[in-house]
Structure 1
Amino acid sequence: MAANFEYYRIFYYVARYKSFTKAATFLMSSQPAISRCMKILEHELGCMLFIRTKKGVSLTPEGEALYNHVSLACEEIFAGEAILKNTSGLQGGVVRIGTSETALQVFLLERLEHFHSLYPDIKLRISNSIPPESNNDLKNGSIDFAVVSTPTGASKPLAETELCQLQDILIAGNQFKELQGRTWHLEELKKYPLICLGKGTKSYSFFERLYSSYHLALTPDIEAASTDLILPMVKHNFGIGFLPESSAAPAIQAGEVFQIDLADQIPLRSICLVEDPKHTLNLAARRLREMLF
């Protein structure tokens, strides 16, 4: 390209406004500086581009031919700049998150709601993934970060940061009133139907290890497809079930279900942020990450 692109940009605005003065105002420059640049461009191209008139300027045939091409190029460049500003800013863009069922319900949904209320134009891509799938997605760049329950299985180069702890409790509906008023061992509750998330979920693996630690086999009578289904099924007395304490609290306070006191201790679980420190987040993803803490 013989001439500096800046000259073509100035040419675009002079031709668009048909005025050196209006172009100078828009570009926050001076009319003499704009005129000087156009004289240089005309000299480098070896032809006149503008005809001066009382009302401003008009394009010569050569100027018209050049404008047809320059206008397309400039508008494409300006459109690209706008996309980058939106993507890298907080007026647009996409945040891609991998999350497990429990982490979404107990921790992430509330923060996503707050984030969306502040930045409604940012698109959220939420995938229901658990380790090792979420860890693989992080390594190949399919997601920006993951919010999952422990154990995460994260290993270098991935980093794990605890966001909160959760305590699971065992609950029952009102048709199981005989379970109130005393403390039970898990082995004593084997005769009661158990509702649990299905095999392949982190919750199932967690409770399978819990039962195994007490030399018991986890044999749920009903395997629920999501955490959302456990509470209504317990309310309607299909069986007893484990839920995070924070998820069960409103129904307990309303008298719809009650907590079964256990002699066997249920270990605390954690909700963790898992990320690849080498992956550079866009501004939107960085802002959501900040709001997790």
Structure 2
Amino acid sequence: MDNVYRICYRYKIDMDINFEYYKIFYFAAKYGSITKAAAVLGSNQPNVTRVIRQLESQLGKRLFIREPRGIRLTGDGERLYIHAAAACGHLFKAQEELGDASPEGSGTIDIGATETALHLLLLSAMHDFRISYPDIRIRVHNHSTPDILKSFASGELDFAVVTSPFETAKAYRCENMHDFRDILVGGTQYRHLCSRRSPLKELLAYPWVGLGRGTATYDLYRDFFAAHGAELELDMEAATSDLLLPLIRHNFGIGFVPERLAQPLISKKILIQIPLDCETPLRSIKLLSENGHGKSRAADTFYRYLKCRERCGPPDA
């Protein structure tokens, strides 16, 4: 019980208010709908509405704005949701772990990972881990880096495995797991560019594909271009990194992708590598954890496995 009080203190949850109110608020905010929250909770719409009104009354704050298609959080509601989601995440995880009475070889892990991190690191690691620990369930949340960091900060994830560059709170432990470089590639109509090393400036005449403005990757390559006397202007902006290869292979433009992801398509002559007269920036896949360990016994087992794999390499490597 002391753990519950510490969590609630940490996330500024008022213990004088019934925790069930915060739980109902959390699900209503998560789904943006009173009806969906009621269904998940096994309750009914009038009861959920009543509890939210009581919570608003006790806090003296309006938490939701009612709209024709659902509800949305007010500024105060958004601030409360950050803390309520984190507290609920910890409590749900603890309840699950206690309910399972999990030994080291069982339980559930929630991992947030970018597309690049999945393909360059996690898929092979999770495959080998499952062989050693078949009774540990893994839930993978595959989103963009900002969405993963938001979910991690709210306590919904055990770990975040994301691709640099990014910014996050100093309170989290950030460990380097894998270094890589991007290469410049294009579809088959750009085959004439593979015969020699080209300066970036010369390639500005061609259409470019990349992650859009507002992403850390865009900022990275904007600075990279500037350092070589060029200005990055994208003709096609992708919202997520998993869209880059399909856009490039269909000749929408040239762009940077991790070398290991591009090589299978280069080998099949679906893509061509465009040599540059300069080296692309070194990038990394980082593991974010709260204190250098997992939040549950299962998560801690996976954390130690990843760290051992980093030091010693995969099995039979």
TM bucket (normalised to shorter chain) is 0.5 to 0.7
Q: CA contact under 8 A between 1:141 and 1:279: conserved in structure 2?
A: no
1:124 aligns with 2:139: yes
Deviates more, 1:255-264 or 1:197-206: 197-206
> Which residue number in structure 2 is paired with residue 90 of structure 1?
105
Question: For 2:292 and 2:251, how far apart are their aligned partners in 1?
Answer: 49
Q: How big is each residue's C-alpha offset from its partner over 1:191-217, in whole Å with a ceiling of 9 and x where there is no partner?
A: 111111233333223222212322433
Query: How far off its partner does 1:171 sit?
Result: 0.6
Q: Which residue of 2 aligns with 1:168?
A: 182
Aligned twin of 1:99: 113
SS of alignment partner, residue 300 of structure 2: helix
The reply to whether residue 202 of structure 1 matches residue 216 of structure 2 is: yes
Contact 2:115 2:142 survives alignment (8 Å): no
1:137-175: CA deviation from partner (whole Å, max 9, x where unpaired): 445433222111223434532222111101100011221
Deviation of the 1:108 alpha carbon: 2.0
Conserved? CA contact 2:162–2:287, under 8 Å: yes
Cα distance in 2 for partners of 1:191, 1:219 equals 10
Structure 2 Cα separation of the partners of residues 81 and 124 of structure 1: 15
Q: CA deviation at 1:239?
A: 1.4
Distance 1:205 1:100, change over 3 A: farther
| TM-fit CA distance, 1:182 | 1.1
Counterpart residue number, 2:269: 255
Q: How far off is 1:271 after superposition?
A: 0.8
Q: Give, as a single letter, the amino acid of the residue that structure 2 aligns with 1:112.
A: M
* SS, match of residue 286 in structure 1: helix
Q: Deviations over 1:216-239 (max 9, x none)?
A: 332111112333332233222221
Alignment of 1:240-279 (within 5 A): 240-277=254-291
**Residue 143 and residue 222 in structure 1: after superposition, are their counterparts in 2 closer, same or farther (change >3 A)?**
same
Q: Is the 8 A contact 1:184 1:262 kept in 2?
A: yes
Determine whether 1:284 maps to 2:314.
Answer: no
Quote the offset at 1:277 in angstroms: 0.8
- Give, in whole Å, the separation in 2 of the partners of 1:228 and 1:137: 20
Instruction: Go from structure 1 to structure 2 and tell me whether the alpha carbon gap of 1:153 and 1:258 turns closer, same or farther (over 3 Å shift).
Output: same
Distance of 2:194 and 2:236 partners within structure 1: 22
Gaps of 5+ in 2: 1-95, 311-317
Counterpart-to-counterpart distance in 1, 2:204 and 2:112: 35
2:210 aligned counterpart, secondary structure: strand
Work out which of the residue numbers 241, 245, 248 in structure 2 matches 1:234.
248
**Structure 2 CA distance for aligned equivalents of residues 82 and 144 of structure 1:** 16
Q: In the alignment, is the contact (CA less than 8 A) between 1:98 and 1:129 conserved in 2?
A: no
Identical amino acids, percent of aligned pairs: 34
Give the structure with higher Rg (CA): 1
Q: Under a length normalisation based on structure 2, what TM-score does the superposition of the two structures give? A: 0.59
**Residue type of the alignment partner of 1:145:** F
Unaligned runs of 5+ in 1: 1-79
Q: Counterparts of 1:27-176 in structure 2 under 5 Å? A: 83-86=99-102, 89-91=104-106, 93-116=107-130, 118-119=133-134, 122-130=137-145, 134-135=148-149, 137-176=151-190
